[in-house]
A and B are shown apart, each in its own frame.
Chain A
């Protein structure tokens, strides 16, 4: 399991670890409630930063998941595909979604630190529902 404080975050609530693992934050999994489906990207696919490459569905709502950096999909979490509840149960561990081999590692510098992400979700809450 990754330490959430060690991760980088996007405004769209994906996290990225130093080894290229990607998942969604605990905040996001709580908001979307029970995840019933995960469609990870195909290994070997090349994605650009911000490109929709994965889908997570909770009850009656499908969410696009975006690549936090450009690169090649190096692995996909088949276990989360078989047991989507892992995304809720362990968002920073067994509920990871895919791994990406960054082609432009500097992309990660544009992501938020854990502290900045906490401020970001606090400001979202302060601005109301949607």
Chain B
């Protein structure tokens, strides 16, 4: 047991996205830093390149008319954060640009940890990559996503590469895993230690928290969220 605890207190979507980006920007190159977190309220995030109107419409269709979707720095699709555990990993990303190899490493880490916790998952390995991109993250399983034996997607992620560092943000659905949020958080941390050969740091420097407070204003702004 690594003492992996969920981030406390839970933050809103802008606060969590800002803290993830602050860690990406501020952590030293070579660092491996894991955050596993919950949300202060239901939240919706959407991919860096996606149009705001798509996320807005998805929220409205779900009846989440009071939820303001927040644009992520990472790619990927629309994610509804209700009943998931979200985790982020800042990691060294220097030599290759290939995202599939990154997803494989990180999702294998989650797979290993979940297996130890008694939840069987599999790395999705379709014979061919599906065409195009799905608007919603959990609309379909992409290569290297974690799925159950019936193909149900339980872990999807998104990436941002900046200089020699990467930010991974993943959403782990708990409904069918039979794990509590705390157990899932511990599983992710233990899996990362197994996969990467050492436990990721969980420490956040005070200056990163300060930077996140500034960045959160941007994540709350119309300029950012409705930039396209």
A contacts, CB < 8 Å to B:
12-13, 28, 31-34, 36-37, 39, 52, 55, 57-64, 124-125, 127-130
Once the chains bind, are B98 and A31 in contact (CB under 8 Å)?
A: yes
Chain B residues within 8 Å of A55, by CB? 48-49
Once the chains bind, are A58 and B75 in contact (CB under 8 Å)?
A: yes
Q: Given known contacts A57-B48, A57-B75, A62-B49, is B96 in contact with A129 (CB within 8 Å)?
A: yes
What 0/1 pattern do residues 118 to 161 of B give for CB contact below 8 A with A? Answer: 00000000000100110000000010000000000000111111
Chain B residues within 8 Å of A28, by CB? 97
Q: Check if B214 is an interface residue, CB within 8 A of chain A.
A: no
Task: For residue B75, give the distance in angstroms from its CB to the closest CB of chain A.
Answer: 4
Once the chains bind, are B95 and A129 in contact (CB under 8 Å)?
A: yes
What is the bound-complex CA distance between A128 and B92, given in angstroms? 13
Chain A residues within 8 Å of B156, by CB? 60
B75's partner among A12, A60, A124, A128 (CB-CB below 8 A) is A60
Q: Given known contacts A36-B49, A130-B92, is B97 in contact with A62 (CB within 8 Å)?
A: no
Task: For residue A76, give the distance in angstroms from its CB to the closest CB of chain B.
Answer: 15
Q: Which of B9-17, B38-46, B99-107, B173-181 contacts A (4 or more CB under 8 A)?
A: B99-107
What is the bound-complex CA distance between A24 and B76, given in angstroms? 21
Helix, strand, loop or mixed for chain B's interface? loop
Task: For residue B147, give the distance in angstroms from its CB to the closest CB of chain A.
Answer: 15
For the A-B complex with A60-B74, A63-B97 known, give 19 more contacts whose Cβ atoms are closer than 8 Å: A13-B97, A31-B97, A39-B49, A57-B48, A57-B49, A59-B75, A59-B99, A60-B47, A60-B99, A60-B158, A62-B47, A62-B48, A62-B159, A64-B161, A124-B95, A125-B95, A128-B95, A130-B96, A130-B105
Q: Check if B60 is an interface residue, CB within 8 A of chain A.
A: no
Name the residue on A nearest B132 (C-beta). A36
Task: For residue A115, give the distance in angstroms from its CB to the closest CB of chain B.
Answer: 19
Task: For residue A117, give the distance in angstroms from its CB to the closest CB of chain B.
Answer: 14
Interface centre among B48, B93, B99, B156 (most CB of A within 10 A): B99
